[in-house]
């Protein structure tokens, strides 16, 4: 079972078995899916019967170890599965194009890592100004997580998970950031009470209106969209609540998706090294 940002939705019935997440049949796992699974684990982390069945295929298990998925499991209280993954030994230097899964509970953790991202993107082969743009993109996405959720996290898990991968043969890179927060609708509804669904809220955010109550500002997501489309011919995929919006140079597509707590945003960037 290959799990990508598209196929995960078709396979959810096989993966989500009550409070157990079963990815035993998984043979390929996309960064988007890693973050999606983190969201599913967060939603279930207080249940006694929670669990995750890890992939049987050795390569997939090694990939999860390589991105330090075991640390996420440990933090979220999946101790048994964490120990199972911890026993795997992989060479940390084997793949420079894989970004380890990062958890930033607070804004300071996130900000402290931006410098590291800058060096990492430069190592991916991005030229200086491109690396700066990607850091600004990531920085702005992280800002939104904390600006819109601080003090208002729906569960006792706050912050964001970040995952990424470079695909040098295709000259593109993927960056995914997920947070178990109140989502676009939860944040914007107070300032725009007419909003009725997640898709409308995401679209409003993309139009540049992300200001909260008593704020005239909010252009961050518009910058993110402009940079992604115009500087990198890339795409943005946003899943928030039960809405999903995909934006690329051709236009916007939206659909209803299975409800999640919070938001996942994927940025795909094409670059010339």
Partner 1 sequence: MKLEMKKFGLILNSRPAGREAVLRVKQIANGTTDNELIFDFTGVEVLTPSFADEFFTGVKNEYKDKKIVIENYSKNTVIEDVLRGLGLI
Q: Which of 22, 100, 147, 248 binds partner 1 (CB under 8 A)?
A: 147
CB-based burial label for 253 (10 Å; 0-12, 13-18, 19+): exposed
Considering the rule CB under 8 A, would residue 159 count as an interface residue with partner 1?
no
Distance (Å, whole) CA 73 – CA 61: 13
Minimum CB distance to partner 1 smaller for 77 or for 139? 139
H helical segments located in 93-207: 107-123, 128-149, 183-188, 198-206
Residue 240, beta-bridge partner list: 243, 263
Distance (Å, whole) CA 75 – CA 82: 9
Considering the rule CB under 8 A, would residue 212 count as an interface residue with partner 1?
no
Contact partners, residue 64, CB within 8 Å, separation at least 6: 29, 34, 54, 55, 70, 85
Least gap, CB of 247 to partner 1 (angstroms):
18
Minimum CB distance to partner 1 smaller for 77 or for 211? 211
Residue 179: strand, helix, or coil: strand
Q: Which of 22, 25, 84, 140 binds partner 1 (CB under 8 A)?
A: 140
Considering the rule CB under 8 A, would residue 227 count as an interface residue with partner 1?
yes
Minimum CB distance to partner 1 smaller for 99 or for 210? 210
Considering the rule CB under 8 A, would residue 37 count as an interface residue with partner 1?
no
Least gap, CB of 117 to partner 1 (angstroms):
9
CB 182 within 8 A of CB 205: no
Q: Which parts of this chain interact with partner 1 (CB under 8 A)?
A: 107, 111, 114-115, 118, 129, 132-133, 135-136, 139-140, 142-143, 146-147, 217, 219-220, 222-223, 226-227, 231
């Amino acid at each position: 079972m290959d799990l990508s940002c598209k196929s995960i939705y078709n396979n959810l019935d096989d993966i989500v078995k009550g409070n157990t997440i079963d990815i035993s049949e998984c043979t390929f796992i996309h960064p988007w899916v890693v973050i999606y699974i983190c969201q599913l684990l967060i939603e279930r982390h207080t249940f006694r019967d929670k669990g995750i069945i890890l992939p049987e295929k050795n390569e997939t298990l090694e990939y999860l170890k390589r991105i330090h998925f075991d640390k996420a499991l440990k933090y979220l209280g999946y101790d048994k599965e964490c120990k199972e993954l911890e026993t795997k030994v992989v060479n940390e230097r084997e793949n420079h194009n894989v970004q380890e899964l990062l958890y930033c509970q607070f804004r300071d953790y996130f900000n402290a890592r931006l410098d590291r991202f800058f060096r990492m993107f430069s190592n991916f082969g991005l030229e200086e100004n491109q690396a700066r743009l990607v850091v600004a993109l990531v920085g702005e996405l992280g800002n939104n997580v904390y600006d819109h959720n601080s003090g208002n996290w729906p569960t006792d898990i706050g912050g964001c998970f970040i995952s990424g991968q470079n695909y040098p043969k295709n000259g593109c890179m993927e960056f995914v950031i997920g947070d178990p927060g109140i989502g676009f609708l939860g944040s914007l509804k107070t300032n725009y009470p007419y909003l009725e669904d997640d898709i409308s809220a995401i679209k409003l955010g993309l139009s540049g209106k992300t200001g909260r109550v008593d704020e005239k500002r909010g252009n961050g997501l518009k910058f993110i969209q402009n940079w992604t489309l115009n500087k990198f011919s890339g795409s943005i995929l946003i899943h928030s609540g039960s809405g999903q919006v995909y934006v690329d140079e051709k236009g916007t597509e939206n659909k209803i998706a299975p409800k999640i707590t919070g938001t996942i945003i994927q940025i795909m960037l094409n670059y010339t090294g």
